Amino acid sequence: MPDWIRGHVNAYEFFGGVTEILVSDNLKTGVNSHAKFDPVLNPVYRDMAEHYGTVVMPARVRKPKDKPKVEATVKALSTWVIAALRNQQFFTLEELNQAVWSKLRDFNQRPFTKKYKECRNREEGFSTEEKFALHPLPAAPFEMAAWKTATVTPDYHIQVDRMFYSVPFQYIGSQVDVRLTNSLIEVFFKDSRIASHARLYGRSEQFSTNQEHMPEAHKLYVSHTAESSRTWAATVGPHISALVEDLLNHNPERQALHTILSLQKLAKKIWRNATRVRLRRGAAGRPSAYHSHY
C-alpha cells in the first residue's frame, strides 16, 4: 500500500497536475471489490482520490481493452529502459535512478515513427494537448494514513503506539477513531474531529497535552508556576507579594507552589464570602459595603 500510494503521488508531482479521472488496475491494494457499476475502493486509496479531487474508475477484471494504450506503452517503455540497462551494473539506488531518468527522457523525446501534424514526440504532445486539462495540485501532497481505535482514559488521554495524546475531558470513557499519518494524529468521535496533535517519536510514553482539553481545576494546576504566583501576588498587595517571595526563596519550589496554591484558594473563598455579605447588606437597605472599609 505505501508503494502504491507513493507511486500516485510521485506521478502527479511529475506531471504537475491531476487528471479528472484515474483508470487503475483492478488490484486488491486499491480495490476491495468490483461490482459491475460500483467498485469499492480501499479506504486509503479513496482518501487519496478525495485529496486530489479525482475519480477512480478501476479497469474491469480481465478487460485489458479498458486501457489498451497504457498496456502498449508499458510494454514499449519496459523494453526501452530495462532492456537497455540489463547489462549495466549499479552500486547505489541513486545511480540506477539517474540511468532510468536518462532513458525515460530519451523515450519521451523520441520522434514518432508516424507523421503527426500537431506534435513530434510524446513530451511535446503532452505539453501542447494534455497538460492544460490537468487540475492544479493541492497545497500539500497526500500523506498516507492508518486508522486505529482507542478508549479515552480517566486522565483524558488516549494511547497510540505507546505515546499519549489528550482529548477533551468530556469524552472520558468513550471509544474514538484515530487517524495516523507520519506527522499528525487526528482523533474522531462519531465522524467529528475532536482533537489533533503533532505525532510523537522517540522515547516511549511521551505526552502531548492541550490545555484546552483539561477541566478548569487541572488548567489552574498546570499554569501554576513561580512567575504566575508572583504576578498574582502583585495584584493583591505588597504584603502578599512579600509572603510569596519568602515562600519561594526558603522552600523547595514544588512545596512553595503548593502552599501558594492553597493561599490563592483561601483568597477566593474570602472574596466570595465578602461578596455575599455585600449582597445581603444591599438587600436589607443598609449602607453598601462598597462604601465602607470592609
Domains of the chain: 2-133 (3.30.420), 146-214 (no CATH), 224-283 (no CATH)
Residue (of 169, 138, 163, 134) closest to 148 by Cα position: 163
Evaluate if residue 65 carries a pLDDT over 80.
no
Nearest Cα to 266, choosing from 215, 232, 222, 231? 232
How do residues 104-137 score in pLDDT, each as one tens digit?
A: 999 999 888 776 667 888 888 898 888 999 999 9
Measured from the Cβ of residue 152, the count of other Cβ atoms closer than 10 Å reads: 24
Percent of the chain as helix, strand, coil, to the nearest 5: 50, 15, 35
pLDDT in tens, 140-156: 888 888 889 999 988 89
Q: For residue 54, what are the contacts with CB-CB under 8 A and spacing of at least 6?
A: 18, 19, 20, 21, 22, 135
Q: pLDDT band for position 291 (50/70/90)?
A: very low
Is pLDDT of 294 > 50?
no
| All residues at 6 or more sequence positions from 229 whose CB lies less than 8 Å from its CB, including other chains | 244, 248, 257, 260
Amino acid at site 266: L
What secondary structure letter does DSSP report for 214? S
Of 30-34, 247-251, 256-260, 276-280, which has the strongest mean pLDDT? Answer: 247-251
pTM of the model: 0.55
Confidence category of residue 200, pLDDT binned at 50, 70, 90: very high
Burial 53-66 (b: 16+ CB within 10 A, else e): ebebebbeeeeeeb
The answer on pLDDT for 93 being more than 70 is: yes
Rounded to 5°, the CA angle 51-11-201 comes to 60
In tens, the pLDDT along 98-107 reads 999 999 999 9
Q: Given strand 157-160, what is the order of strands in its sheet?
A: 157-160, 163-166, 207-208
Among residues of the chain, what percentage have pLDDT more than 70?
A: 89
